[in-house]
Chains A and B, each alone.
Chain A
Amino acid sequence: MREGIPGPHHVTHLGRFRFVLIFTGCLLFAFGLLLTPPIQSLDVQFSRTLVQVSHWLILACGGHASRDAAILRAPGGFGVEMRDGCNAVNVTILLWSAVLAFPASWKMKAVGLVVGSAVIQALNIVRFISLFYVGQYSLTWFDFAHIYLWESLLVLDTMVVFWFWVSRVVRLDAAACAPA
């Protein structure tokens, strides 16, 4: 290796540093933005929409529930409210920061942002509906599932969604670089 030309190991460190820097910057910026009043009101609207979708899904599958703004109620009286942090916006921010920080084309980044967000939101609706039923069974296990289990599972899923997207980027890059 000639002097002055960085080797692959050196280059990898540079790429990693760049990723961590952009990822942290995006994360702090987005979480900061999330706390501002205009975004908070959008966040509340978004939560209500998710509750509406969950309510519709429960009814479509033959379940029983009523809806009041962002609260889903069971016939027995138990109610679960989707508050800030329960609408998976925080894990979506995590995915967006990782996708934006990763070196890929803007087209692939757009695909990652849209498809990844859709997957996470679909999972979050499953989470919300499952919590609605767990809460009717036991409040202790509701706390466990709500605060610890589902939140950690969502972060794990976000990591896997990102990993899956990276492997797609690599495969498409390899196909584009392959000799004709």
Chain B
Amino acid sequence: MPLPVPQLRPTTRFLVRGSTLLIGILALWWVSLRGPMLDLLHGAAGVFLQIRENPSGDWIVRVPFETLLPPTAKRPVAQQIHSINFEMPRSDASRFIFSLPVFWAIILAAPCARRNLWSLLIGTAIMAALEVALLLAFVDLAAYQAISHIQGDAGFRWGRQLGLYIVPDVLPYLLPFGVALSLHRELREQVFAVDTVMGRRARIS
């Protein structure tokens, strides 16, 4: 007589499948997909910015930034700035491409296989666009931070720091989960128990 297969809870099933897929897909990305994906990001961001690679593979990014630096005691003549160049290590640029494999792992671990393919295709396009947008936002924030530093402008420093923390260190980790939950109805309904709690409580309030 065959042994009964234990029925896992949806949470446990998702955790086991998600962790396994995350380890597998991210390892594959690290070993073989990282280089080609960085090249694709380079090409896509290159439409908006000038990016060169130095011999070690790090990026030299030129950000167009028009501003006039007023004269100071150290610099008696006003200076017109047209662009800012800065170096971005290849490892830092990789932070903007790993969200995609994370998204694939979440979608493939989600319940209801029928919906997965559609979510995978649409989500891949959305995630790719978001990764380019995050890189551009980060580069702009870094340029703004550099100019503020040269000008000695302490205004809105906390906001700049918050942006420079959230864009490269928080959003690349959060977005794949957010996009997966937005696109995959079954996953969203299971995680949030949509028709039970959220609806009932909203009706009460």
| B-binding residues in A (CB < 8 A) | 6, 8, 11-12, 14-16, 18-19, 28, 31-32, 35-36, 85, 90, 94, 102-104, 143-144, 147-149, 151-153, 155-157, 159-160, 162-164, 166-167, 169-170, 173-174
| A-binding residues in B (CB < 8 A) | 10-11, 14-15, 18-19, 22-23, 26-27, 30, 91, 95, 98, 102, 105-106, 158, 161-162, 165-166, 169-170, 173-174, 176-177, 190-203, 205
Residues of A within 8 A of B173 (CB): 151-152, 155
A31 and B198 in contact, given A147-B95, A148-B30, A153-B19 (Cβ under 8 angstroms): no
Residues of B within 8 A of A102 (CB): 192, 197-198
Residues of A within 8 A of B15 (CB): 156-157, 160
A167 and B19 in contact, given A35-B165, A155-B173 (Cβ under 8 angstroms): no
Residues of A within 8 A of B26 (CB): 144, 148-149, 152
CA distance A144 to B192 in the complex (A): 31
Residues of A within 8 A of B161 (CB): 35
A143 and B91 in contact, given A11-B199, A103-B197, A151-B173 (Cβ under 8 angstroms): yes
Main secondary structure on A side of the interface with B: helix
Main secondary structure on B side of the interface with A: helix
Which of chain B's residues has its CB closest to A34's CB? B165
CB < 8 Å A-B pair total: 113
Taking a contact as CB atoms under 8 Å apart, the answer to whether B22 and A153 are in contact is yes
Residues of A within 8 A of B10 (CB): 163
Taking a contact as CB atoms under 8 Å apart, the answer to whether B174 and A94 are in contact is yes
Give 8 nearest A-B pairs by CB, closest first.
A103-B201, A15-B198, A15-B202, A160-B15, A14-B202, A12-B199, A170-B193, A163-B191
Provide 16 A-B residue pairs closer than 8 Å at the C-beta atoms, listed in order of the A residue.
Answer: A15-B202, A16-B192, A18-B202, A28-B166, A36-B158, A102-B197, A103-B200, A104-B197, A152-B26, A152-B105, A155-B173, A155-B174, A159-B177, A164-B11, A167-B193, A169-B197
Taking a contact as CB atoms under 8 Å apart, the answer to whether A156 and B166 are in contact is no
The minimal Cβ–Cβ distance linking A28 to chain B, given in whole angstroms, is 8
CA distance A36 to B161 in the complex (A): 10
CA distance A143 to B91 in the complex (A): 9
A31 and B197 in contact, given A11-B203, A151-B173, A163-B14 (Cβ under 8 angstroms): no
The minimal Cβ–Cβ distance linking A146 to chain B, given in whole angstroms, is 11
Taking a contact as CB atoms under 8 Å apart, the answer to whether B14 and A160 are in contact is yes
